[in-house]
Structure 1
């Protein structure tokens, strides 16, 4: 029996398509502007990769710096965030809940305020202030709560105490339990947190705008400079380069975050 779709279905479908178009069309137009000879003339002026080459020639250092900071930021949040989430999941007390809420403060506070606080506290350290590590500290502060919350959500959903007690009864020490029981069971949370950390670090602008120096421009800062001081085609080409870099990264992280399907059992032989 064929179920007939009513007016409500078509209304919901139309609204969904409208929202998708509202979000996607500006991105498509921006990308097209980066591969046309003249934005004001439009597609009729012809396609070219000249602006993309110009962006890569003049701003490739900002792209590699953003990737490097994002990778190091991910490493820092893994080393700090996963053990922190483990402790918070193991000890559900008023103190740990207060610590958990305090860790979210960098997300609630505007990035400009956090950047200003870092400049006031550590701006006097000239070597540190002018290095990419200064930006890294801000990114770690901003992204660490996302890693902790993602891992904590998974650890809170499983019976962690029973799993550890079972491993301990078989003679597993603390580190063995942590690496062979805890980490595999919170793998999905770690990968989800990694997805957010990398994407947020690569695209973070507000905090980085105050923390950067002329020698430590990241990709979003370079993108803002391209739109502000160069031709619109160059800025749009910069957006295209950004998408070409971030989309495969998102797809890869999404693929790694999928649970692996078990091998199908072999069919029983007929007796």
Structure 2
């Protein structure tokens, strides 16, 4: 029979409550301070893009004139950025997921050397990578003035994130053993990859896709050196608007940037959460 708590221990427990409340309040205050520090500038920038005159403030009235002006001047950069991000994601999926599976199966010096080489564009400054691309491929046909030149730079920068995310999911899921078991039953390599590896590694693949899209849409360093006046993307247009337009126009451009990016982020996060939930529930549902 478990001994009952003595009355003398209850006041000590009650005395600990004020300390817990203090710790909770301090944590809440720190969280709110960090949130205000991160979100506050974004909110102020959005408000600046919706006010008639930023220097007068909200008393000058709210308007969508600056947003309409941004759309008239820079609509092509928005669609081009989405196109570049979609093409970058497609290449990263087609190249990164098989590469992640190969690195999961083959662990050795060659695999480690390839992995280190793959992450090199992330460690090197974006301007240096862009200069290397211009020197190497800048004179190859019409590549220098095409969107594909920017896509190549974005793939070099974002592919390591796709490979790392997918490889981590594959390693944690024990897919190598499942693949070997399916191989002993006569399943073809491509069939095993598409029906065993990809579905079980879907959370990591979707996380990598989210990272690739986010980085591609917002990438500036590489793009600033690789773009031409006819291949300007959204971040480059944003910098141009801040340099040559009124502050209200530049802030409205930031608002358009957020409106284009947030649905992508929320949609991919929902897909990743759903894939993770299905993966956790599948062992319970199996007989």
Structure 1 position 75 matched with structure 2 position 90:
yes
TM-score, normalized by length of structure 2? 0.89
Give the deviation of 1:168 after TM superposition.
Answer: 2.1
- Report matched runs for 1:178-257 at 5 Å: 178-257=193-272
Partner Cα separation in structure 2 for residue 123 and residue 166 of structure 1: 48
Q: Which runs of 5+ in 2 are unaligned?
A: 1-12
| 1:155 maps to which of 150, 159, 170 | 170
Instruction: String of CA shifts for 1:204-229, please: whole Å, max 9, x gaps.
Output: 00110000000000000000000100
Which of 173, 179, 185 pairs up with 1:170?
Answer: 185
State the aligned residue count: 265
Q: Which has the larger radius of gyration?
A: 2
Three-state SS of the structure 1 residue aligned to 2:50 is coil
1:43-192 equivalences in 2 (<5 Å): 43-192=58-207
Q: 2 CA distance for matches of 1:11 and 1:155?
A: 39
Bigger proportion of residues as helix: 2
Per-residue deviation at 1:122? Answer: 1.1
CA distance in 1, matches of 2:49, 2:21: 42
The alignment's C-alpha RMSD in Å is 1.7
Q: Which runs of 5+ in 1 are unaligned?
A: 267-271
Partner residue, 2:8: none
After TM superposition, where is structure 1 displaced by more than 6 Å over at least 4 residues in a row?
none
Write out per-residue CA displacement over residues 61-114 of structure 1, whole angstroms, 9 at most, x where no aligned residue: 000000000000000001110111111000111110111111111001000000
Q: TM-score, normalised by structure 1?
A: 0.94
Q: Distance in 1 between matches of 2:262 and 2:72?
A: 21
3-state SS of 2:268 partner:
helix
